[in-house]
Structures are given as C-alpha cells and as structure tokens.
Structure 1
Amino acid sequence: MEFLKTLFGYIDALTWGWALIPILVVFGVFITIMSGFVQIEFFGRMFRVLSGRNQNNDPNAISAREALLVSVGGRVGGGNIAGVAVAITLGGPGAVFWMWCIALVGMATSLVECTLAQVYKRKDGEHSFRGGPADYIRRGLGHQYNWLAIVYAICLLAAFGLGFNAFQGNTVAGAVQDSLGLDRMITGAFLTIVTGFVIFGGIKRIAKAADVVVPIMAVGYLGLALIAILINIQEIPSVIARIVSSAFGYEEAIAGGMGAAIAQGLRRGLFSNEAGLGSAPNVAATALVRHPVSQGVTQAFSVFIDTIVICSCTAFLILLGDVYTPGAEGIDGVVLTQQSLASHFGEWSRYALTLAILLFAFSSIIYNVYLGENALAAMTDSKMALNGLRVLILGLVFMGAAAPSATAVFFFSDPMMGVLALVNLVAILMLFPTAMRVVNDFRAQLKAGVARPIFDPAKFPDLDLDREAWDPARWK
C-alpha cells in the first residue's frame, strides 16, 4: 500500500503539482485566441438553451437543456461551497478574480471538447447517443490510438466512477451529522437507495432527476446569496475593488500575495468547472442537437454558471460577511461558508446550506455514475459488467458515508484525474483543426441567415462519423 501511495503521489506531483494547471491555462488561452474568442462570439446564444425553442423533436431523446443540467449538476458541488472558501483563505480575495479568468478561457476549452464529443458520438439504441473523449480519440485520431482511449477510460472510471463517489457520500454524511446530528449510517442508506433508483433507470432517468434537482438547488442557493448581496448592495463596489486589488498584489491579504492568489484561483476554478479535464464531454455527447457546436455552446454556458455565477455567489457571501479575516487561521472550507451564511441570516441558514450540500452531492454522484458507465462502455459492452459497476458504486457511496476514514483508500482519484486531463488535452490539441472546421461551418450557416444551423455529415466525408447519429433528414 505504501508503494502505491508513493507512486500515485509522484503522479499527482507531475500533474497537479506543477505541469497540469499551467498547461490548462495556456491551452485555454490558445483556444480562445485561435478560435477568435468563440465564447464571447456565441455568448448570447448560450441563454437560448433555457427556453423551449432549443429543444429537439424527439421526446424520448436527451435534450440540450437536460444535458446542460446534468453537467451543471456534476460541476456544481463541494468546490462551489467549500472550494471557494479555501481559495479565499489561502489566496485572499484576489483568488476570486483569477477564478473568473480561468472560467472565461475555460469556456472556450469546454466548447471545443464538447463539440468534438458531439461530432464523434455514436447511436446507442433508438433514442440515445454515447460518446466522449474515448470516442473522439478512436474515431478522430484513428484506431492506432486505441491504447490511449483505454488509458483515458481507466482513469475516468477510477477517478469519477469510483473515488469521487465515495468522497461525495462522505461529504453529505459529514454535513448532515454536524448540523442535524443524524447518524452517518442513516444518511448513507438513504443516499444509496435514492441513487440506486435513479442510476438503474439509465441516462434518461439521470437526466430527469437532474432536471428536478439542479434547478431547485441552484435557485435556492442563489436566492439566499442574492438576498445577502441586495442587503449589502452598497458594499459591492468596495468588495469588487478589494478582489481586483488583491489579485494584483496591491492589497497584501496573505503571505504569498499575488502568487498565492493566482495559484489558488486557478486551481480551485479548474477543479470546479472541469473545463479541459475530459469529464463533461461524456454528457455532452448524449444530447440530440442539430449541430455539434450547439452543444459546445451549451457546455460553455455550464462553465459560466458554475464559476461566474455560483462560485461568485459563495465568494460574495464570504466577503460581505464579518467572519472572514485576511490571514486568519482555523476557519476554512465549508465551515467558513456556513458561518458567513449564518452571519447574514442567522443559525437556521446552516440547515439550508446542509440541504444545498446534500443536493449538490447527489447531483454530482449521479453525474459521476454516468461517467463511470461511459468509461466502462469504452472497454466492454457487457450488461453484467454494467450492473456490477452500479452495485459497486452504490456500495462505495454507502461506505464513504458510513465510514469517514474509508475514503482514505481512494488516494488515487486526484492523480488519475490529472492523467485523464493530460490525455484529453493531447487529443483535443491534435483534433483542434477538425473542431475549427465544424465551428466555421456553424458560423457560415449563421452568416447565411440560418437561425438554427444543421450539421450535414456529407460536408465532412473524411471524418469517421456515425451517419445515423447525424441524419439531416431528422430536422426536415
């Protein structure tokens, strides 16, 4: 065991320690510039997914809106509540500014990776689709890279399908025990039963669950944050000025100054919005849309919601409260967010935050389960293996909730996510010209007056596409 811990410690140091974050930032800036600031160009179109106008004409298929809510439910989690608090504690208010910056460039990265996932998706039954980085590696780069797709799938299954689900169960049980005094076993059993009901219904039931849970948790949490902001509206300009000045070292809030603010902001932002990590494209591929870029734009919007909206609300809750003290030690993570919320609304708000954590964690679990299933599908199509994985995941959720120390065995999760991200970045870098061909096709149709562009695979005869998945006649 010690050998494995040492090995994965080295992998973690080689990825998250010094290489991965700069690569993700540089690559995000590269995509932003080379794509002509595509996230800004299509920003107005992102909000269309919230209306019924953007829905598909097959009620049995996953819509763009449902895919958005599943991915938002996965991205929004502990990083938005505890992670932001840690970033501010270790990096000062300036960390929030750099979190915003990485979200803006991450929107372009997410748009490209999710567009590729849509391009190379394949039909998986009469009304469903499946795809993701494993598919665009195989179909886009060629079957000689099948080994790379397998490496990706193993890392996705280990990190998201197994490890992170145990951690989510642990987070929920801990929050409920601390605020309500409920035994971990009870919380674990309840969470496991509800999760089992959802995941054994497949991606459609997962999407339906997200369609209910995500709006409730987002609106509820954002509602409290907005009330706190409105109560302290006169202080907003000074808080924003404090964030900006701290970001550039003009206000030395902590040891490390500007460097600590940049490091914490970028790290927490990337962990939260997952842009470039190769997880969200698995969900993006499930949607039935007219053009791959439509879902790319939708997933860029998911990054915006996660970081620019929800993480910012947590940051303002903390910075507008009277609990956070620059440079102080002893209060960080979810405790800082809880105490800040209580400073605005009173002790009852701790229970509201516990409910938010429960919903955030549940939506993350069902998202992670699908990622694990998609990873398994890249290696085998065995139904027995799929059901075995679901049972294993339910066991891990319960174990993580019931036994706090049990999550220590999942030390491999972060290193595996680091390898996952590097594999994905290599793939989208190699496939970037293909992605831009598809983006330019979308642009050309918009310029020609087509309000809702349709992807025609006949325009791309050199690409290994599933013609059934992309049948233009469906939209006529």
Structure 2
Amino acid sequence: MELLESISSVIWSNVFVYLCLGAGLYFSLRSRFVQLRQVPEMVRLMLKGERSPSGVSSFQALSISLAGRVGTGNIAGVATAIAFGGPGALFWMWVMAFLGASTSFVECTLGQIYKVRDPLTGEYRGGPAYYLSRAYRHTRAAPALKVYGMVFAIVTVIAMGTLLPGVQSNSMAVAMNNAWQIPTWAVGAGLIIVLAFIIIGGVKRIANFASVVVPFMAVLYIIAALVAVFVNADAIPGVISTIISSAFGADAAFGAIIGSAVLWGVKRGIYSNESGQGSGPHAAAAAEVSHPAKQGLVQSFAVYIDTLFVCSATGFLILSTGAYRVFEGESADGAVMADPGVLDAGVEVGPTYSQAAFDTVFTGAGASFIAISLLFFCLTTLIAYYYMAETNLRYVLGTAAKKAVAGTTLGGIATRVLQAAALAAAFIGCVSTAQEAWLAGDIGVGLMAWLNIVGILLLQGPAFKALRDYERQKKQGLDPLFDPVAVRIVGADLWETRDPDTGMERVSGAAAPK
C-alpha cells in the first residue's frame, strides 16, 4: 500500500497538475476557444448518423466514449474530491472540464486522422499509440516517436486491462452491498459473466450496448439528482458561495486546503471526463465520419456532458443535502474539517455519500437508486476500458496478430488472455478495499495522461490544420470532406483511399452507405 501511495504521489505532483491546466489553456487559445464557438455544431454532429461496415456512427462513438467517462468518477469520484479537497474541488473540476474540452478536441481529432483498419476484424482502430507513431513518420523524429507510441500502448493495455477496472467494480460492489447486503464476491461473480458476454462480441456489440444504456442512465440520474437539489433549493446560493470561496482559499473553513482543492479537482476531473488521458481518441477513431474534426467536436461535448452535467449534479446533490465530510491531510485518517451531521459515523468516502444524499429526499430509496446507477455506469465503463485495452494490444502486436499459432492467430490468443485478465481485475476490484482500488486507478490514469499530454503537445499541428480546413469548408456552405494531401498532412493513409465525393470509405468500389 505504501509503495502504491508513493508512486501515485510522484505521478500526481504539482508539475502534472500545472501541465494539465496549462495544456488545456494553450489549446483553448490556439483554437480560439473552439469549445465555446462550436457548441451548436457539436450538438448537430452528435446526432448525425454516418456509419459503415468498418465504423460506428458519431453517436455510437460518443456513447463508447461516454461509457468510459460516465462511471464511478461521477459519483464516488466527486465524493472523494469533496472529502479531500473541500467543496472548492468541484470548481476546479469545472475548470478542468472547460479547458479539457479543447484538449479532447485535439487528441480525438488526431485519433480520427491517423486511424487504421484492424487486420483481424476490419474495424477502425486508433488512439495515441497510432498517432504518435504515424504523425511524423516522415521526419527524423519517427524512430523515437514510434518507441514512445509503443510505450503508451503497453501502459494502456496494463492500465485499462488491469489497473482501472478495479475502481469501477469496487464502487459498484460497495454500493450494492450497502443497498442490498449482497456479498462483494457475489457481485464480482455476476459481473464477470455479463461482462464476458459483451466484450467477446467486439466493438459493434459494445457500441450497440453503450448507445442504449449510457444516454438513458445519464439522463435518469441527472433528473433524479436535480429533483433532490430542487427540494433543497434554499441551500443552493450558500452551496455556490462555498464552492467559489473555498476554491480560492477565501472560505474560513477550507482556506488551508486550497492546494488540495486544485489537486483533487484536477485529479478527479481528469479521472471523470478523461480529457488528455488518451482514452477518448480510441472511441473517436471508431467512428465513420467524412472529416476528422467532426468527431473531435463531438468528443469535446462529451467532456461537458460528463462533468458540467453529471458531476455537477452529484456535487450539488451532496453539498445541498449536507451528506459529506471534509478531511484534513487528503486522507480519511485526517482530522474532520467539516461535517454537517447527515452521514452516519464511520461511513466510508465514496458512493455512500451519494446514497445518503438521495436518502434525505427519497427516504429508503437512495441506496438502491445509486446502486442501480453504478451497476450500469460501471458496467459500461468496464466495457469501454476493455475496448481501449484491446485496441492498444492490436497496436503492440501489429501485423504479427495474423500469425498462426497452435491452430489460431497470435492476435486471437492474446485477445483471450487480455479478456481473462480484464475479467479477473474486475472481480479482484469487487473484493478489494476502496483505497487499494483508487490508488491503482490513479496510477493508471496518471501514467496515460502524462504520456498523452506530452505527446499531443508535440503533435498538435495536424489537429489544428484539420480544424481550419473544417471551418473553411463550413463557411463555403459545404459538408466538409477531408483530404489530407490538400492540407499537407502526412501519414493519414486510410483517408487517402476514401471516395472523393462523399468522404466515406469505399466498399466494393462504391462509397460506404450512410
């Protein structure tokens, strides 16, 4: 445990916090705040239905992305941010979401530009490992970037396949045990059965499942939280005042932990909305669109959905009902700095805060509602994690994935091993302590984000070329089509084979159907 804590503290240093905020601010300025200017376009594109035999629709890709974003971070993550960073941590989550939306645009547009076709399934694959190795392969930096991409891919397979699943399954198991007294091992057993059925079906089954479950549960959760907040409407002005004042150390009770507010706001902000982590580009690359910037804009809006809507609903719910405690020293072992008195003694930091908050309004139903919400949120997140781990496994194997071994392909064997590891990690998370699960998850998120943010700062150029090209064509009244040669982007091989009239992939000599 001490080793994990030491590793996590090194990764999540102040330098990393400033890197995340600084990168988001830089991308916002360079894009002329694309996350504000293009909100109407984001919404329009989100509902557009281009798809092909190789790629899912923008909405399905958004759903895969949201499946990874909307999870325990929106419920248990907000609770831990408030517990260890004070109410001001919610403000810094908002800041991270606003700035991170521009970071998400850059990384997800790059993911679309440099996507490839899976040699085993024919489906689109992409992500940081792919754009790191392809964007500047015509330069002297190519060998170093290829190694960098391989490092990211290996880290992501480990993080998404073994480190991060435990956070989701642990919160789900704790919530279900608290609500219905189901043993955590039983939750784990049931989880791996359902999870195995879905992930073995491939990206199309994952997309179909996520596109139905994620929007429904997110809307239902937000509505229920808003109802609870409305019942406590008289407390909202005070909640907003506390959030703002404690975010800048002006609140007498929380002034001493302003550094913790920033740290936990950024940490849980990235964990929740995943901007800069490098996970969003994997889902973005799976989409069938006529221009990479389209999916970049859609994925930017996903950050808003996650943090400004779902996380804010949780934050206001917890704070307006008083179902929280704030601890000194960023640990539940520290002295209690604030306790409105709603929580029972000994309540563990995490989903139980939200369960107690709902119970103040929906007496007796709060624990069950959060347990059901986490069941679906965490399940979809685990599915998205597996998809990203598998995508990077494909990258690591490369063309060797087709190599025959013992009557099957190397890629097939490796995929089965990864599936087994992901299922085992999900089960272990159910029976682990929350502290162990979150420490492992923070290490996985931090390593991926470090590598990806540095990477996109180096490779940002093609994303902004794509944005300028997209906005130029829109001004001309066109439905933008992407031609990488025309905008001098090298390495986007898949796009160079597209139908020039539709921007869609060719199938048997014709453009793919919409």
> With structure 2 as the length reference, what TM-score do the two structures score?
0.85
Q: Cα deviation per residue 1:272-324 (whole Å; 9 max; x = unaligned)?
A: 11111111111111000111111111111111011000000001111221434
CA shift for structure 1 position 229: 2.8
CA shift for structure 1 position 232: 3.4
Q: Cα deviation per residue 1:366-415 (whole Å; 9 max; x = unaligned)?
A: 011011101111111222111221122223323332x3269959965533
Q: Which has the higher helix share?
A: 1
Evaluate the alpha carbon distance shift between residue 158 and residue 325 of structure 1 in structure 2; reply closer, same or farther with a 3 A threshold.
closer
Report matched runs for 1:172-251 at 5 Å. Answer: 172-251=172-251
CA shift for structure 1 position 347: 1.6
Q: Cα deviation per residue 1:414-451 (whole Å; 9 max; x = unaligned)?
A: 3343232222122211111221111100111111122x
Q: Cα deviation per residue 1:146-203 (whole Å; 9 max; x = unaligned)?
A: 2111110111011111121233223222221221111223222211111111001101
Aligned to 2:493, the other structure's residue is in SS state: coil
1:107 to 94, 101, 104: 101
2:132 to 120, 137, 146: 137
Between stretches 259-268 and 314-323, larger displacement belongs to: 259-268
1:85 aligned onto 2:79: yes
Let me know the Cα RMSD of the aligned residues.
2.4
Contact 2:64 2:283 in 1 (8 A): yes
C-alpha distance in structure 2 between counterparts of 1:246 and 1:255, whole Å: 6
Contact 1:61 1:127 in 2 (8 A): no
Between stretches 291-300 and 240-249, larger displacement belongs to: 240-249
C-alpha distance in structure 2 between counterparts of 1:40 and 1:410, whole Å: 33
1:352 aligned onto 2:347: no
Report matched runs for 1:42-57 at 5 Å. Answer: 42-51=38-47, 54-57=48-51
1:392 aligned onto 2:421: yes
Contact 2:359 2:367 in 1 (8 A): yes
CA shift for structure 1 position 18: 2.8
2:355 to 327, 338, 361: 338
CA shift for structure 1 position 60: 6.6
Aligned to 1:472, the other structure's residue is in SS state: coil
Q: Cα deviation per residue 1:29-81 (whole Å; 9 max; x = unaligned)?
A: 01111111111111111212443xx1115377311101111111111111111
Aligned to 2:290: 290
C-alpha distance in structure 1 between counterparts of 2:164 and 2:94, whole Å: 25
1:16 aligned onto 2:43: no
1:369 aligned onto 2:386: yes
Aligned to 1:459, the other structure's residue is in SS state: coil
C-alpha distance in structure 1 between counterparts of 2:115 and 2:225, whole Å: 38
Aligned to 2:481: 454
C-alpha distance in structure 2 between counterparts of 1:405 and 1:339, whole Å: 20
Aligned to 2:450, the other structure's residue is in SS state: helix
Between stretches 277-286 and 84-93, larger displacement belongs to: 84-93
Aligned to 2:32, the other structure's residue is in SS state: coil
Between stretches 275-284 and 107-116, larger displacement belongs to: 275-284
Between stretches 267-276 and 293-302, larger displacement belongs to: 267-276
C-alpha distance in structure 2 between counterparts of 1:416 and 1:60, whole Å: 30
Contact 2:114 2:126 in 1 (8 A): yes
Between stretches 319-328 and 102-111, larger displacement belongs to: 319-328
What letter is aligned with 2:17? I
Task: In structure 2, list runs of 5 or more residues that go unmatched.
Answer: 327-336, 340-345, 402-410, 504-510
C-alpha distance in structure 2 between counterparts of 1:314 and 1:457, whole Å: 42
Q: Which runs of 4+ in 1 moved over 4 A?
A: 8-11, 405-413
Report matched runs for 1:112-123 at 5 Å. Answer: 112-123=106-117
Contact 1:457 1:470 in 2 (8 A): no
Aligned to 1:379: 396
What letter is aligned with 1:137? L
Contact 1:21 1:266 in 2 (8 A): yes
What letter is aligned with 1:352? F
Evaluate the alpha carbon distance shift between residue 394 and residue 438 of structure 1 in structure 2; reply closer, same or farther with a 3 A threshold.
same
Q: Cα deviation per residue 1:428-476 (whole Å; 9 max; x = unaligned)?
A: 11111221111100111111122x3111233145511123564434457
CA shift for structure 1 position 252: 2.4
Evaluate the alpha carbon distance shift between residue 399 and residue 393 of structure 1 in structure 2; reply closer, same or farther with a 3 A threshold.
same
Evaluate the alpha carbon distance shift between residue 417 and residue 260 of structure 1 in structure 2; reply closer, same or farther with a 3 A threshold.
closer
Contact 1:158 1:413 in 2 (8 A): no
Q: Cα deviation per residue 1:89-108 (whole Å; 9 max; x = unaligned)?
A: 23332222221111000000
What letter is aligned with 2:368? Y
> With structure 1 as the length reference, what TM-score do the two structures score?
0.92
C-alpha distance in structure 1 between counterparts of 2:369 and 2:446, whole Å: 33
C-alpha distance in structure 1 between counterparts of 2:12 and 2:319, whole Å: 28
Aligned to 1:269: 269
Aligned to 2:251, the other structure's residue is in SS state: coil
Contact 2:269 2:307 in 1 (8 A): yes
Aligned to 1:58, the other structure's residue is in SS state: coil
- The number of residue pairs the alignment matches comes to 468
Between stretches 305-314 and 68-77, larger displacement belongs to: 68-77
What letter is aligned with 1:30? Y
Contact 2:161 2:386 in 1 (8 A): yes
What letter is aligned with 2:133? R
Q: Cα deviation per residue 1:230-253 (whole Å; 9 max; x = unaligned)?
A: 333454344323322332333223
1:328 aligned onto 2:322: no
